Structure 1
């Protein structure tokens, strides 16, 4: 029996903390078990790695790197590392248990997916990958087998065993280790002259998007050298059922020249990425009245809300709706990118002054500056510049009925990815308890 495990009543306990269950899968250096944290009852996936096998394969540093990387990348679309334990002969990684299986299995069973589903998966993949790149982490083995789906259908990036850190680059600023899965690896990785880890990951994202929409690989040949030459030429065809916008994006991602390959800031502004699913046409009604952000929404706040006047807005945003993050700003000039694209909208029974107080508290805690935005809103601006200048967020507050208001949050300046992260990781948790939705009434 392993020196850190105890057996009793047919149950294997690891260090008295985890109850090991059935085997979920096998890897090169061990197995993955279903397990349960006996302290909290939380289900986890326990990756058991044999030290002896790792050392014989000369992979000890790689395992250490994988653990270090996973501690750095805590994100909703990345499999979480809960805990690491070790004994004389084994290393145990308690990972988030993702029950939906691999994206690869989903495609194998059901074939290609529709564009709305592909867009959802692809957005989550890009957000996770960009989060890693912002922390100097490059995955280097992105493929459907390493993308898991949870019970809600959300994508989770897994297996950082081949990942690299920015500090691993040579003096030329490039990575030089050729690794990854041939069908998904960027051509410059195999060329041997060095490569940018972020651009190589985006190539892999392009292959994954193609697989989602086509149900097949873009570059196929029984001879690997022939396949590699096709990749170098960008020699692939999109099936006729792909929309023009999808084809354009894939061609920008599968650009064999890393110097001209699209980057994440450009990717998130493409029409295909920004497109939102159709929403029901709202009920025609009067425009919402502006609210004085220093006071309450009118004198009759104790009256019940006029449901029909509110629902034409609420139907577009039940609870927290992050889909407007990808909408085109109607005020933007045609053909011109706008810094105010996208947003988040929610309804609340909190008075306007209460919402403003929440935003001011959030800004104070996050070292942001608060200013008034017109007659009906506030503006939060980061003190420090980000990847694309200082992030600024504008929150407009409207009265749609007595005692019911709608808050419309949009990016005013700065980086789109930083804005999205701010909404999901800071703004949403800070305001979650005041959100109102018609389903709750």
Structure 2
């Protein structure tokens, strides 16, 4: 039996579960109803964007991301806007987080050197490509590195993870962002930093974690942690090869001016072993008209948002397992003890069933609370065992057939039985009658 739900549709997409949440955005799984393709949709609040004066920057970064089509970067498909929200439609990556893969490794939560090098090479490929187009991540960490269906690395949120950040006239970022353990020393002070060198430091921390299985800089005291990062105080584990240790040391250089660059990494002896340059067709063409439309106030440019409440569905196995509970007789078991629930079927629309139950229960002295296709009925008068509470829910068996479950949630079972007999009489027209019913057997 599935859970009662509210279908949320945005344009041609049906939104599902939340798969990520941040300060400025929420990410939901979604399905393209025209093609069946699974996507991820990042949802931004327009009011917050306007409040923080982020519109132009977000439009610029989204436009750039639409043109980035790299195998190791999560794709951005399109942008839509409603009156209150911006929807960024992205590629849905199925292989999970790289962080989960690290944690699942049997060898003390770390990767073998060859495997770690392969993922690091893909990471550098992606970072190099995006930096060449002026796009910086500023929150690189294993949790933002996903795995595709074939196990290839996919960097998520490139250019979108730090939407609230601004570049000043000196060309530097001035707001600290990112996860503390992965941020570069220059990000921790307020003198400005270069997005490219800061990203590279984070790549070095990621490489260390892949190979060592723990963070190079870690302390519960944030002041001590910042001090260790600023001084690049870390100890490499003994199992690291000389080449890996040397490269990590050059990346985790606290001075951004002397830190190794990506062109230098691409020539490093340890890095280039078994290196495969990512091959793909670079296509810089892309339509960015939807970006301006998404931010406009005019309703003609807004995507349609719909919330469609639907009753829970029931499959054949559910129906068979409950088939003995379709009449009043089944309020009793063979020993004639009262049961706590019963069910009936109806060909009425679900909203009408709910209305009929409400209409029948109110004169009997029940307060009613409704949520979608569930109802809670509470008798205002206390009975033998307190106030009688009854739960009802409508399930969809077929497009035109519904099953209604009536269940005692609290109170005396005998009182529930008496209530149901009265309710059944009042719902006589709602209940779907079988051939046997029509010959004289009905709900009563």
TM-score between both structures, scaled by the size of structure 1: 0.57
Aligned partner of 1:76 in structure 2 is 71
Among candidates 219, 222, 230, match of residue 220 of structure 2: 222
| TM-superposed deviation, 1:27 | 3.3
| TM-superposed deviation, 1:77 | 0.8
Aligned partner of 2:19 in structure 1 is 24
| TM-superposed deviation, 1:424 | 3.3
What are the Cα deviations for residues 298-337 of structure 1, in whole angstroms up to 9, with x where unaligned? Answer: xxxxxxxxxxxxxxxxxxxxxxxxx5x4xxxxxxxxxxxx
Aligned partner of 2:235 in structure 1 is 237
Contact 1:139 1:164 (8 Å CA) reproduced: no
SS in 2 for 1:228: helix
Aligned partner of 1:136 in structure 2 is 134
Query: How many residues are paired up?
Result: 275
SS in 1 for 2:29: strand
Aligned partner of 2:119 in structure 1 is 121
Aligned partner of 1:40 in structure 2 is 35
After superposition, the Cα gap between the structure-2 partners of 1:44 and 1:236, relative to the gap in structure 1 and judged at 3 Å, is same
Contact 2:43 2:87 (8 Å CA) reproduced: yes
Distance of 2:34 and 2:236 partners within structure 1: 51
Q: Are residue 104 (structure 1) and residue 99 (structure 2) matched? A: yes
Aligned partner of 1:425 in structure 2 is 281
SS in 2 for 1:205: helix
Contact 1:138 1:165 (8 Å CA) reproduced: no
SS in 2 for 1:117: helix
Distance of 1:237 and 1:113 partners within structure 2: 18
After superposition, the Cα gap between the structure-2 partners of 1:165 and 1:154, relative to the gap in structure 1 and judged at 3 Å, is farther
Among candidates 209, 222, 242, match of residue 207 of structure 2: 209
What are the Cα deviations for residues 195-253 of structure 1, in whole angstroms up to 9, with x where unaligned? Answer: 22211111110000001111111011222221222122221111011111110010000
Unaligned runs of 5+ in 1: 1-8, 277-322, 326-419, 427-441
Distance of 1:53 and 1:162 partners within structure 2: 15
Aligned partner of 1:151 in structure 2 is 149
Contact 2:165 2:175 (8 Å CA) reproduced: no
SS in 2 for 1:274: coil
| TM-superposed deviation, 1:90 | 1.7
Aligned partner of 1:196 in structure 2 is 194
Looking at CA atoms only, which structure, 1 or 2, has the larger radius of gyration? 2
The 5 Å alignment of 1:41-56 reads 41-55=36-50
After superposition, the Cα gap between the structure-2 partners of 1:99 and 1:266, relative to the gap in structure 1 and judged at 3 Å, is same
Larger deviation, residues 175-184 vs 215-224: 175-184
After superposition, the Cα gap between the structure-2 partners of 1:166 and 1:272, relative to the gap in structure 1 and judged at 3 Å, is farther
Unaligned runs of 5+ in 2: 283-444
After superposition, the Cα gap between the structure-2 partners of 1:72 and 1:224, relative to the gap in structure 1 and judged at 3 Å, is farther
Contact 2:145 2:156 (8 Å CA) reproduced: yes
Aligned partner of 1:248 in structure 2 is 246
| TM-superposed deviation, 1:79 | 0.7
| TM-superposed deviation, 1:169 | 5.0
Q: Which has the higher contact order (CA 8 A, sep 6+)?
A: 2
What are the Cα deviations for residues 57-87 of structure 1, in whole angstroms up to 9, with x where unaligned? Answer: 6655664454234224221111111111110
Distance of 2:21 and 2:98 partners within structure 1: 18
Contact 1:219 1:230 (8 Å CA) reproduced: yes
SS in 2 for 1:148: strand
Distance of 1:121 and 1:66 partners within structure 2: 26
Q: Are residue 88 (structure 1) and residue 87 (structure 2) matched? A: no
Contact 1:77 1:128 (8 Å CA) reproduced: yes
| TM-superposed deviation, 1:166 | 13
Contact 2:61 2:135 (8 Å CA) reproduced: no
Distance of 1:74 and 1:177 partners within structure 2: 28
| TM-superposed deviation, 1:117 | 1.4
The 5 Å alignment of 1:374-389 reads none
Among candidates 185, 188, 191, match of residue 187 of structure 1: 185
Distance of 1:166 and 1:71 partners within structure 2: 19
After superposition, the Cα gap between the structure-2 partners of 1:255 and 1:32, relative to the gap in structure 1 and judged at 3 Å, is same
Among candidates 9, 16, 23, match of residue 13 of structure 1: 9
SS in 1 for 2:128: helix
